Amino acid sequence: MRRLSALSVLAAGSVLASGAFVPAQAATAAAPTITAKGGYVMNNGTGKDLYKKAADTRLSTGSTTKIMTARVVLAQPNLNLNSKVTIQKAYSDYIVDNNWASSARLIVGDKVTVRQLLYGLMLPSGCDAAYALADKFGSGSTRAARVKSFIGKMNSTAKSLGLKNTNFDSFDGIGHGKNYSTPRDLTKLASSAMKYSTFRSVVKTKKTTQKTVTKSGGYRNMTWENTNPLLGTYSGTIGVKTGSGPEAKYCLVFAATRSGKTVIGTVLASSSVPNRTADAKKLLTYGFTK
């Protein structure tokens, strides 16, 4: 009977060397296996690491680069989100010239507000919207100079945030050999961007219709749907951004809140769109157990 009692005690809890009795805890969930080359998850409130796989390995970022594009815009002093930008032919030509460029289908001559450009940037992942924002918020007398200036702001922001393994050579992720980050750095970037209420509002939006002003002075309705598959399929999702490309493969920066806890993370270079989504869901679910 004494042996049975001892077994019962061990089953019910554990006895520390000090003699204190501690109730048994549920077994810690095993870390998931993901197809992505790199992954990282943290508690957004505390900054605690919750999952790491090649977390500091430099990888191509694809359109997750646009998180930094938005972050730079939102940090501009005296930002007027309602100021209008006239869509230039160069922005649409850029889409035509780059096969991997995703588009917000902005119309040349339309006047679009900065706030609307942020929706066009983050929901359909518009490279034309990214170009318009870089042209608007860069400095210089030529478009090329302004774009170069804007990318410089992206890199100086990365440095100020302590993102030591991050570099940008494009405003949208269509890089030229030097556009890279890591799962950890991108997660920290997203966490920083989520401090802006406008960013939070944009990236949690599943679909929006925005009214723009046409060249003739009329109005046009632009409807954009979010490329983030977690919105509406994973409870508590609040963002953030997809990415893809020949080098980047399939990427996703993600965040969700449940019971007051926000988990935020990144997967880079997953093998397909379905696997990218599955990887993110696994890591979120695991993060909420930690």
Task: List, by residue number, the catalytic residues.
Answer: 63, 66, 125
Q: Answer whether 276's CB lies under 8 Å from 270's CB.
A: yes
β-strand partners of 212: 220
Task: Give the β-pairing of 59-60 and 111-113.
Answer: unpaired
- With beta carbons less than 8 A apart as the criterion, state whether 255 and 237 touch: yes
Please indicate if the annotation marks 241 as binding a ligand. Answer: yes
Nearest to 106 by CA among 227, 198, 213: 213
Distance of CA 277 to the CA centre of its chain: 13
Token digits of residue 102: 């995703």
d(CA 264, CA 287): 9
CB atoms within 10 A of CB 166: 25
Rg (CA), the chain: 22
- What DSSP state is assigned to residue 167? B
Among candidate residues 7, 54, 95, the one with its CA nearest the CA of residue 279: 54
- Closest residue by Cα to residue 187 from 49, 285, 70: 49
Which residue from 102, 103, 172 is spatially nearest to 135, judged by alpha carbons? 172
Which residues are documented as binding site? Answer: 241
Which residues are documented as binding site for substrate? Answer: 241
